[in-house]
Amino acid sequence: MPPGAPNALLDSLTCVISTANATDLESLAINVVRGISMDAPAAANSGHQGTAMALAPLAHVLWTRIMKYDPARPDWPDRDRFVLSNGHASILQYAMLHLTGYDLSIDDLKAFRQWGSRTPGHPEAGHTTGVEVTTGPLGQGFANAVGMAIAERYLRGTFGADVMDHHTYVIMGDGCMSEGVSHEAASLAGHQKLGHLIAMYDNNHITIDGNTDLALSDDSAKRFEAYGWHVLDIGENAKDLDVLESALNDAKAETERPSLVIIRSHIGYPSPTLTDHHSAHGLAFGADEITAAKDVMGLPNEPFYIPAEVKDFYGAAGAAGAEESTKWDERLATASIDRDHWEACWGRTGVAGWDSNLPTFEAGKSVATRKSSQAVIDAIAAGIPGLIGGSADLTGNTGTKLDGLGVQSADEPDGRQIYFGVREHAMGSALVGMAHHGGVIPFAGTFEVFADYMRPSLRLAALSNAKAIFVFSHDSVGVGEDGPTHQPVEQTMSLRLIPNLTVIRPGDATESVGAWQAAIASEGPTALVFSRQNVPVQAGTNAGSVAKGAYAINEVATPDAIVIGTGSELGVATDAAELLAADGTSVRVVSMPSWELFTEQGNSYMQSILPPGIPTVSVEAGVTMGWQRWANEAIGIDRFGASAPGNVVMEKLGITPDAVAEAVRGLL
């Protein structure tokens, strides 16, 4: 083993090294990884082997010389985090997880990309042991890593380096560098001076269309230096283990800035016919190409060939982490930390009594739900030590202030307020990374119309069940004078389309309290949608009922009709019910803050709230598509808004009690 390898690892590999020259054994091990990287895509007739082959030496160095991990304890809180941002090279990560002893079998490798396998086409958190985040859409994993580094620094600043002191490593490719989210995330990381973040840029010059010269001519080194990163360009040394190790150790030694290691690799190496060819990127090698490459490497033409000495070598590297994780247990047991806060952070909840001082609101008062949301945050933040977040330059506008709890920065690492700047793309992705790091409940806010900037991160949060809270304010055309560019009409419904994302649009200040309670209780991602304009506090709303998704806010046992209101239109529904009451029509008003939570209650409860056969009208200041599930007729806005005072826009576009009442009369 080279200088710098952990002593425990050296000791554990002595018996292996004694049977073969270390350099020869490592070369064989790397070639075995390359062989697996070809065999799995070939078996699936689908996949990306070229990048995995080129980066096998880097992966070898990371898993045997650099990273701190314990395969027997994949959720060890102080492990190093690894992210494969160019997730199409997933077979590389799967090969290393299998070889180093994670719960991933050779049969799992052979089932690459097949139905029900634990080796899907791109890495998926919660699906494959050892995979930290779900990657695939390029650049997202890199931005996730930035979030992980923020979470690590916050926990280190809060509890001390004895119990929290690790690095986040992320491999990224030319595609990640090209996507806009990487620019935002790199800028944020440089500004935050995230010294425990180390990115490795696989600069292989190849995309699906061909050479990157077709579309990319950035100077990445200068770009990242301008962002405030520590940049190491090791040039044509992608196969030199000692150079790779030295660069990564230099990056670890730089504690004041994030580090970027630029590696000029050659995709498909050492294929004699497809090295540096774009076909090596996304097309599985045929039998002839695999045979030729294995001949060059001196490997037998045997699929998934793993000789015992290689398996033992990597297994010993993985087992060496157990000693470090045991020592960490000992440090944690004697650490002078607030145990209640530690348990609350890692339990993703609050300390006992965290919700004992929730605000209440007087019926009849008029309060914007973004303001009541801020009041809830003020009341719960002290009792939820893992609650950390902010907004994209809209802290006051969105009600996402953590007053008096410090600003997250290198100078104040235990600060809980994050100023993400005008970077919604990176903000959303960082939240996902923070959630998957663990120890925090991340939240962040922006205007709802800008949820469109965050679509990839919202989708990946839902796909990977990341417990993050996305706060969206200015929820309708009631925004007013800013006009249609800032008036969401399709955004709420588009959020509801995302599977596994709980969308809660509270109807008043009281329901805002319940919305936050539901978000903290959730195991996955939540989108909270709040109003800019004041809305009346209703006499019948109840914070605890928000968790049911929908409930009646007035007592009508046998209604003639039902009106469903949601968000800032709940008041329109109650006013319409009063108009209809004057006609002698008995109307049940149902508040429906969350379709998802309502559906979870089951058919019996849903039919008790919305009995079949009773004429039902919904009202929401947005597109009507989808409301047919709950209502016979939907009052909404199937066009873009307009620039005018919010109440004028609502009236002109038909979001009025009269319009709702007339719709009910028509059904009756």
Active-site residues: which are they? 424
Coil/strand/helix, residue 169: strand
Distance from C-alpha of 459 to C-alpha of 461, rounded to nearest angstrom? 5
Of 392, 356, 365, 427, the residue nearest 147 (C-alpha): 427
- The bridge status of strand 366-368 relative to strand 534-536 is antiparallel
Please report, for residues 419, 590, 627, the alpha-carbon distance to residue 608 in angstroms, rounded to integers and kept in the order given.
45, 11, 18
- The torsion angle over the Cα atoms of residues 260, 261, 265 and 270, rounded to 10 degrees, is -130
Please report, for residues 191, 463, 521, the alpha-carbon distance to residue 443 in angstroms, rounded to integers and kept in the order given.
20, 18, 14
Of 34, 138, 153, the residue nearest 83 (C-alpha): 138
DSSP 121: S
Distance from C-alpha of 3 to C-alpha of 9, rounded to nearest angstrom? 12
What residues contact 269, with CB distance under 8 A and at least 6 apart?
Answer: 53, 54, 239, 275, 276
Coil/strand/helix, residue 616: strand
Phi, psi of 111 (to 5 degrees): -95, 20
Distance from C-alpha of 661 to C-alpha of 211, rounded to nearest angstrom? 63
3-state helix, strand, coil in the chain (%, to 5): 45, 10, 40
Tokens 């089932």 correspond to what residue?
111
Q: What tokens appear for 80 in the block?
A: 């190093």
Judge whether 402 and 416 are in contact, CB under 8 Å: yes
Instruction: Indicate the angle between helix axes 455-464 and 424-437, nearest 10 degrees.
Output: 20
Judge whether 474 and 447 are in contact, CB under 8 Å: yes
Please report, for residues 368, 456, 519, 522, 641, the alpha-carbon distance to residue 490 in angstroms, rounded to integers and kept in the order given.
21, 17, 23, 25, 11
Of 131, 253, 263, 156, the residue nearest 203 (C-alpha): 263
Please report, for residues 126, 466, 511, 547, 596, the alpha-carbon distance to residue 600 in angstroms, rounded to integers and kept in the order given.
22, 19, 18, 10, 6
Distance from C-alpha of 138 to C-alpha of 85, rounded to nearest angstrom? 6
DSSP 559: -
DSSP per residue over 339-398, as a string? HHHHHHHHHTS--TTTTTT-----TT-EEEHHHHHHHHHHHHGGG-TTEEEEESS-HHHH
Please report, for residues 262, 306, 308, 315, the alpha-carbon distance to residue 16 in angstroms, rounded to integers and kept in the order given.
32, 15, 10, 11
Instruction: Indicate the angle between helix axes 140-159 and 339-347, nearest 10 degrees.
Output: 160
Q: Which residue(s) pair with 528 in the sheet? A: 471, 504
| Dihedral angle sign, alpha carbons of residues 632, 633, 639, 643 | negative
Please report, for residues 64, 70, 317, the alpha-carbon distance to residue 308 in angstroms, rounded to integers and kept in the order given.
17, 21, 14
Please report, for residues 18, 190, 264, 578, the alpha-carbon distance to residue 146 in angstroms, rounded to integers and kept in the order given.
41, 10, 23, 52
Give CA angle at 405 (402, 407), nearest 5°. Answer: 85
Using a 10 angstrom Cβ sphere, with 0-12 exposed, 13-18 middle and 19 or more buried, the burial of residue 191 is middle
